[in-house]
Structure 1
């Protein structure tokens, strides 16, 4: 039973935890402000979870730009394609999530928050334009904001290619 309760995540220093929270505020705030001023949505609920990875664990492979943008784009594209041929039901949404996870893994762009994108697609029935705006544009904005924030705070992001 003890292994269920053990926290495997290493401890965060207070400074890093506070910076992670501030980074998320900045990223969601700036992306929301861009949405407001552009008159077009750039925020979707899964971006809140992306902010957790981008600012709390920026050195994780799952937090890297290709994973954030690629994961959201792949998961949403899979869901939009499946939604053309499947009904908007719970079981079709489940197939969308599973297919998105498999394709992200095969393409090496796994980003856990993107696993929620098919649920959003099946629940809201958007058109293909949803892939560009808010998904691709919003994910790209989040990555640019994260890279700028981390550069300003002296945190390594993104990881350098080997």
Structure 2
């Protein structure tokens, strides 16, 4: 039972942990300010979790631009389609999460925070415009801010192609 409580994540140096927090603050802050200024919604709750990966684990394959944007778009598109076909079916949200995981894995764009997108779609009842804004524009914004932030702080992001 003790193996359930072992922390496998290597420790962060305090200044790296602080930079990760500042990066998340900057990404959500800038995207939120732009959203307010433009009068369009660009933030969704799963983007907070995306920031954890983008700024705390920028070298992870799950944090790379194609994964962040592709994962959110794929998951939201599946959810929107199922929600249109099966409105009000409680089990359709579970099906959407399962299908999103499967398709992200097959397309090699797995991004764990995007697994929450179907739940948001079923709770908020958005139309297909949700896919462009906030999902596509918002996730691209986060990636651009992360790339600039990491360049300024000396961290390699995104990873170079093999």
Q: d(CA) in 1 for partners of 2:111 and 2:89? A: 24
After TM superposition, list the pairs within 5 Å mapping 1:23-38 onto structure 2: 23-38=23-38
Q: d(CA) in 1 for partners of 2:87 and 2:128? A: 16
Residue 102 of structure 1, CA deviation: 0.5
Post-superposition Cα deviations, 1:86-119, rounded to whole Å, max 9, x if no partner, equal 1233311101100111000000000000000000
Aligned residues of 1:89 and 1:122 also touching (Cα < 8 A): no
TM-score (normalised: structure 1)? 0.99
Give 5+ residue unaligned stretches, structure 2.
none
Matched, 1:149 2:149: yes
Q: d(CA) in 2 for partners of 1:159 and 1:2? A: 35
**Moved runs in structure 1, 4+ residues, more than 3 A?**
none
After TM superposition, list the pairs within 5 Å mapping 1:58-137 onto structure 2: 58-137=58-137
Aligned residues of 1:83 and 1:122 also touching (Cα < 8 A): yes
Q: d(CA) in 2 for partners of 1:144 and 1:83? A: 30
Q: d(CA) in 2 for partners of 1:8 and 1:49? A: 19
Q: d(CA) in 1 for partners of 2:92 and 2:79? A: 9
Aligned residues of 1:88 and 1:123 also touching (Cα < 8 A): no
Secondary structure of 2:69's aligned partner: helix
Residue 24 of structure 1, CA deviation: 0.3
Q: d(CA) in 2 for partners of 1:90 and 1:29? A: 34
Secondary structure of 2:43's aligned partner: coil
Secondary structure of 1:127's aligned partner: coil
Give 5+ residue unaligned stretches, structure 1.
none
Aligned residues: 162
Post-superposition Cα deviations, 1:18-63, rounded to whole Å, max 9, x if no partner, equal 0000000000000000100110000000000000000000000000
